[in-house]
Chains A and B, each alone.
Chain A
Amino acid sequence: MTLPLIYNLRNLAVRKLSTGLTLAVVAVVVFMLVVLLAYAVGIRETLSANGSPLNLVVLKPGATAESTSILRQVEWIRAVQTPGIGQGAAGELLVSYELCVQTNINRKGTDKLAYVAVRGVDPVAFQVHPEIRIVEGRDLQTGELECIVGKAARAHFEGLEVGKSLVMGRVGNHAYKIVGVVESNGGSLESEILASRAAITNSFNRQFISSIAARLSDPGQVDAALEYLNGPSVALDARTERRYFADLSARMLDIVKITSVLVVIMGIGAAFAVANTLYAAVDGRRREIAMLRTIGFSRKDILTSFVFESALIGAAGATVGLLGGLWFDGYRQDYLSDQTWSVLAFEMKVTPEIVLFASFVAIFVAVVGALAPALRASRVQVIEALRKA
Chain B
Amino acid sequence: MGLKAAYLLRNLLRNPLRTLLTCAAVGLPIMIFVLSVAAVDGIERFLNNSAKQLRLAVTHKAGVVNNLPFGHRAKIEGLDPERKHILGVCAVLWIGGKIPNDSRQLSSLGADADTFVDMFPEYHLTAEQIEHWRRDKMAIIVGPGTARQFNWQDGDRLTIRPSVPPYEPIEFRAIVPTGDVPDPTTNWFRRDYWEDRIAGTSAVPGWINFFFVRCASMADIDKYRVEIDRIFARTPDETNTLDEKTFMNQFISQQFDLPRNLTILSMVTVFVAIMAAANTMSMNFRDRIGEYATLKSMGFGRRTIFGLVQSEAMVLCGAGGVLGAALPYVLFTFTPLRNFTVPLIQTLIIRESVCVAGVGIAMLIGVIASIWPSILAFRLHVVAALRNLE
Chain A positions near chain B (C-beta within 8 angstroms): 17-18, 21-22, 24-25, 28-29, 32, 39, 60-64, 67-68, 70, 72, 101-104, 112-115, 168-172, 204-205, 251, 254-256, 258-259, 262-263, 265-266, 268-270, 272-273, 275-277, 279-280, 283-284, 334-336, 338-339, 341-343
Q: Which residues of chain A are near B126, meaning CB under 8 Å?
A: none
What 9 A-B pairs are tightest by C-beta distance, nearest first? A62-B167, A336-B254, A269-B28, A276-B21, A273-B276, A21-B279, A272-B25, A272-B24, A280-B283
B167 and A61 within 8 A (CB): yes
A101 and B66 within 8 A (CB): yes
B96, B202, B238: which contacts A171 (Cβ < 8 A)? B238
Q: In the bound complex, how far is the Cα of B237 from the Cα of A101, in angstroms?
A: 15
Q: List 17 A-B contacts (CB under 8 A).
A: A25-B275, A101-B66, A102-B66, A114-B254, A205-B236, A255-B255, A259-B265, A262-B36, A263-B265, A266-B28, A269-B25, A272-B24, A276-B25, A334-B254, A338-B105, A339-B105, A341-B64
Q: Which residues of chain B are near A22, meaning CB under 8 Å?
A: 275, 279
B265 and A262 within 8 A (CB): yes
Determine if B121 is an interface residue (Cβ-Cβ < 8 Å). Answer: no
CB distance from B160 to the nearest CB of A (A): 11
Q: In the bound complex, how far is the Cα of B240 from the Cα of A258, in angstroms?
A: 34
A275 and B21 within 8 A (CB): yes
CB distance from B329 to the nearest CB of A (A): 15
Determine if B314 is an interface residue (Cβ-Cβ < 8 Å). Answer: no
Q: Which residues of chain B are near A205, meaning CB under 8 Å?
A: 236
CB distance from B330 to the nearest CB of A (A): 16
Known: A63-B167, A68-B163. A272 touches B63 (CB 8 A): no
B22, B63, B96, B258: which contacts A64 (Cβ < 8 A)? B96
Q: Which residues of chain B are near A104, meaning CB under 8 Å?
A: 61-63, 240
B18, B66, B98: which contacts A276 (Cβ < 8 A)? B18
B24, B28, B65, B254: which contacts A335 (Cβ < 8 A)? B254
A72 and B275 within 8 A (CB): no
B272 and A28 within 8 A (CB): yes
Q: Which residues of chain B are near A268, meaning CB under 8 Å?
A: 28
Q: In the bound complex, how far is the Cα of B202 from the Cα of A343, in angstroms?
A: 28
B265 and A102 within 8 A (CB): no
A25, A68, A258: which contacts B96 (Cβ < 8 A)? A68
B65, B254, B268, B286: which contacts A67 (Cβ < 8 A)? B65
Q: In the bound complex, how far is the Cα of B168 from the Cα of A338, in angstroms?
A: 21
Known: A255-B343, A336-B255. A18 touches B279 (CB 8 A): yes
Q: In the bound complex, how far is the Cα of B31 from the Cα of A45, in angstroms?
A: 32
A204, A259, A272, A283: which contacts B28 (Cβ < 8 A)? A272
B163 and A63 within 8 A (CB): yes
Determine if B17 is an interface residue (Cβ-Cβ < 8 Å). Answer: yes
Q: Which residues of chain B are near A61, meaning CB under 8 Å?
A: 167
Q: Which residues of chain A are near B98, meaning CB under 8 Å?
A: 62
Contact string, B53-74, partner A, CB cutoff 8 A, digits 1/0?
A: 0000000111111100000000
Determine if B199 is an interface residue (Cβ-Cβ < 8 Å). Answer: no
Chain B interfacial residues counted at CB < 8 A: 63
Q: Which residues of chain A are near B256, meaning CB under 8 Å?
A: 39, 255-256, 259, 335
Q: In the bound complex, how far is the Cα of B339 from the Cα of A164, in angstroms?
A: 51
Q: In the bound complex, how far is the Cα of B286 from the Cα of A62, in angstroms?
A: 67
Known: A62-B163, A255-B255, A266-B28. A279 touches B275 (CB 8 A): no
Q: In the bound complex, how far is the Cα of B247 from the Cα of A113, in angstroms?
A: 11
B61, B162, B268: which contacts A32 (Cβ < 8 A)? B268
Q: In the bound complex, how far is the Cα of B22 from the Cα of A339, in angstroms?
A: 44
Determine if B29 is an interface residue (Cβ-Cβ < 8 Å). Answer: yes
Determine if B175 is an interface residue (Cβ-Cβ < 8 Å). Answer: no
CB distance from B100 to the nearest CB of A (A): 10
Interface positions, chain B 164-216, Cβ under 8 Å from A, are 164-165, 167-168, 202
Chain A: CB-nearest residue to B36: A262
Q: Which residues of chain A are near B18, meaning CB under 8 Å?
A: 276, 279-280
Known: A61-B167, A101-B65. A273 touches B255 (CB 8 A): no
A172, A251, A269: which contacts B276 (Cβ < 8 A)? A269
Interface positions, chain B 1-60, Cβ under 8 Å from A, are 17-18, 21-22, 24-25, 27-29, 31-32, 35-36, 60
Apart from A255-B344, A338-B251, list 20 A-B contacts with CB within 8 A. Answer: A21-B282, A25-B279, A62-B168, A70-B202, A101-B63, A101-B65, A102-B65, A102-B66, A104-B61, A112-B253, A115-B65, A170-B237, A171-B235, A171-B238, A254-B343, A265-B32, A269-B272, A273-B279, A275-B21, A334-B254
A62 and B161 within 8 A (CB): yes
Q: Which residues of chain A are near B268, meaning CB under 8 Å?
A: 28, 32, 266
A28, A169, A276: which contacts B62 (Cβ < 8 A)? A169
A113, A262, A276, A277: which contacts B32 (Cβ < 8 A)? A262
Q: In the bound complex, how far is the Cα of B107 from the Cα of A341, in angstroms?
A: 13
B35 and A262 within 8 A (CB): yes
Q: Which residues of chain B are near A339, meaning CB under 8 Å?
A: 105
Determine if B271 is an interface residue (Cβ-Cβ < 8 Å). Answer: yes
Chain A: CB-nearest residue to B266: A262
